[in-house]
Amino acid sequence: MQDVKQALTEKPEIIPKIGIDGQFKSCQSGLHFNAKLNVCDYPDKAGCDSEIVEKPDKIPKIGIDGQCPKEDSENPVLLPHKNCTKFYMCHNGVPLVKSCQTGLHFNAKLNVCDYPDKAGCDS
């Protein structure tokens, strides 16, 4: 199987199946993964762009040395993103960019999406 980072950056129609096995699931040609509905959908309805994994200039010093651990644990490692409405979820050593629901910010202290006045994010 190809490298996880390569698969995520070169093929937006392939998404990681977040689960115990960590296997890949491919959408049919022309479809992208819709994370809200957890199904393959038309690109204009899927709500994602072609860049799945962002390479941040600097990952904040949170978690294990500020990096994603190589193997997943029972509790996922979440790291703040420079955009308050996003966060990173570590999956087998790869930081995946996730978004909070509209109107919410990532609360790094509680590791949840929260109201902006409670999240404590300034950017």
Instruction: Summarize the confidence of residues 104-111 as an average pLDDT.
Output: 92
CB count within 10 Å of CB 14 equals 16
How high is the mean pLDDT of the chain?
Answer: 72
Which helix (H) or strand (E) segment holds residue 118: the answer is helix 116-119
The whole-model pTM stands at 0.47
- Residue 33, beta-bridge partner list: 40
Q: How many CB atoms lie within 10 A of CB 41?
A: 18
pLDDT at position 17 over 60: no
CA 54, 11, 90, 107 dihedral sign is positive
Q: What is the pLDDT of residues 60-81, one digit of tens each?
A: 444 434 578 888 888 888 888 8
Q: Looking at residue 91, what is its pLDDT?
A: 86
> Which backbone phi and psi does 24 adopt, to 5 degrees?
-90, 145
